[in-house]
Amino acid sequence: MFGLPRVLLIYAAAIPLALLLGYATSSFTEPDASTFATVGLVLFVLTLPLLIKFHHVWLIFFWNASFNVFFLPAQPHFWLLLAGMSFGISWLDSLVGQRPMLNVPQLTKPLLFLAGVVLLTGFFRGGIGIRAMNSAAYGGKNYFYVLGPILGFFALAAVRIPPAKARRMVNFFLLSGTTFILSNLAFLLGPSFYFLFYLLPPDAIGTQAQGDLIAIIGGIARISGLVPTCTAVIFWLLASSGIRGLFDIARPWRLLLFCGALAGSAFGGYRNVTFMLALLLLCQFVCEGLILTRFLPIFAGFGACLLMSLMLFSDQLPLTVQRAISFFPVKVDPSVVQDAEGSTRWRLDMWQVVIPDIPKYLLLGKGYSIDPADLYFAEQETKQGLVQNYEVLRVAGDYHSGPLTLIIPFGILGVIGFLWLLGAGVKVLYQNQRFGDPALKSVNTFFLAYFITQAFVYFTIFGAFNLQVSIFTGVLGMSVALNGGVRKAVPARAVILPSHERTAPALAARF
């Protein structure tokens, strides 16, 4: 360009950016919003060429990863930002005719219907205000965690993943969940690594940071980051090899890694995770068609040995693990029983208070907007013991129940839209699993089993609509991208015989 060497053009762009970045990071004794905004802008400019080229790959990797956008208000998950960018780039590519976007009407209609319900509810319930952007209301961030996954589906499904890269993209999508353990490792390594919490969510280190206090007063310490890390490994094993591959004697490392990840997931102390994994294995077994095969006694024997081992040694396991398996018919510490029963009773008490509100929000949902005054008074009354300790969560809309987190914020229309999406999603995943590329058989089977399992757990055990809708849209988006849409049965071609072969003797001789 203009006869200038390329290196001079690089220096001309890099030096001003370096000076701006140096000034932003050295002019403030403590980082503030303007510092983060400047750093984020510089990083965005530097990575823009890579983003344009690899936006779809980045979105796949960061969808399940544990990274926040530290330079934006409220620090949203990184995949949420990438979803909007990736969709915009794919849309522009389709406009100029470079790469048309995949179209799946079976899923587009329920997703657009659900997005319309969310937007209309927000409009009629005080708008989508975010406190981080100087709004007077809290809770608006949850709207973005519902609309973002819907937009993210279209971004994931916009680009067909080439068959040669399918396995690699599935690995990125599933194994990126192992990054959640980084929060626990950063805290374990000490203050020198605390800067990582600009990128990593600190929620996973709650009980880890209170380790000494828990040891003194008694309690159950959870390593929360270990749960998504281990479940990501389990998901990857099931997607890459299936139940058949787990019991492949030529590759014993698969079963050993699976058992290790299964044990590690119990250190979170979450009963719903243990139940979900058990149900996922059963559903995967059925979807693989192993009911009437030699794998049935193998699978049943493995489960029986695992349950027998728990029954023999359950009371000797760490308290956190005992809590995770406490719903099995095993012996656990009395303190674990008390803690688990208290948690169940706490939820039931809150649901008894919340359920009478359903008729009030049946036609027009409550939305996510929260009056700061209501939240403040709930906190003060809870501290003074005037109300139950779940009152703050009730005001915030965190009901620890999938159906309640859907019907109260978005009413009956939200329920219809979500059920429509789940029904259409199961049909799409089933068609891709049955008629898809044989090379993707194990992946498509896992997506179908995982989708069904998550839907069942959401409605029966535990759910949070604003946090889990990304699970459903992510699985659907990846399935569409891997299979190039929705696969259908290939009709059998009719054989047209020449006229001289249509006589009875000729047909008899042919067949």
| pLDDT bracket for residue 470 (50, 70, 90) | very high
50-54, 354-358, 477-481, 504-508: least confidently modelled range:
504-508
Interval 356-361 mean pLDDT: 91
- Calpha distance 267→121 (Å, rounded): 39
CB atoms near residue 12 (< 10 Å): 10
Mean pLDDT of the chain: 82
Cα→Cα distances 312→188, 332, 340, 390, 508, Å: 33, 11, 21, 36, 68
| pLDDT bracket for residue 497 (50, 70, 90) | low
With a pLDDT cut of 70, the percent of the chain lying above it is 81
Residue 1 pLDDT greater than 50, yes or no: no
Residue 216 pLDDT greater than 60, yes or no: no
What is the per-residue pLDDT for 165? Answer: 93
SS3 state of residue 202? helix
Residue 19 pLDDT greater than 80, yes or no: no
Interval 293-310 mean pLDDT: 86
- The answer to whether the CB of 172 falls within 8 A of the CB of 497 is no
Residue 409 pLDDT greater than 70, yes or no: yes
Is the four-CA dihedral 485, 117, 133, 379 of positive or negative sign?
negative
Cα→Cα distances 157→153, 373, 412, Å: 6, 42, 28
- The answer to whether the CB of 115 falls within 8 A of the CB of 150 is yes
SS3 state of residue 138? strand
Residue 183 pLDDT greater than 90, yes or no: no
What is the per-residue pLDDT for 400? Answer: 83
| pLDDT bracket for residue 215 (50, 70, 90) | very low
Interval 149-173 mean pLDDT: 94
What is the per-residue pLDDT for 2? Answer: 44
- The answer to whether the CB of 227 falls within 8 A of the CB of 206 is no
- For 59-82, write each residue's pLDDT tens digit: 999 999 988 887 777 778 889 999
